[in-house]
Amino acid sequence: MKQLEKFSDDAYALMRIMTGFMFSSHGVQQIFGVLTDHQAPVGSQIWFGGIIELLCGAAVMLGL
């Protein structure tokens, strides 16, 4: 395990960036209808959920 310990910071950063990317890409899908036939109406509960996912996913990517 000591051999892998030097990669722990990089692995954690990669996991954080990928998690934030997946979270924000799901928000983009809900807001703009990317890669789907359904776009949520502006102001609906799904649309607000997409906004939250987009912003929080970007915050996770940045490490906030």
State the pTM of this model.
Answer: 0.80
In a domain, 5, yes or no: no
Q: Kindly indicate the confidence band of residue 48, based on its pLDDT and cuts at 50, 70 and 90.
A: very high
pLDDT band, residue 38 (cuts 50/70/90): confident
For position 34, what pLDDT does the model report?
85
43 assigned to some structural domain = yes
Q: Please determine, for residue 40, whether its predicted confidence score (pLDDT) is greater than 90.
A: no
Structure tokens at 18: 């990928």
Cα-based distances in Å from 48 to 10, 15, 26, 52: 33, 26, 12, 6
Residue 13 is assigned to a structural domain of this protein: no
Domain membership of residue 37 (yes or no) is: yes
For position 37, what pLDDT does the model report?
A: 83
Instruction: Provide the domain count of the chain.
Output: 1
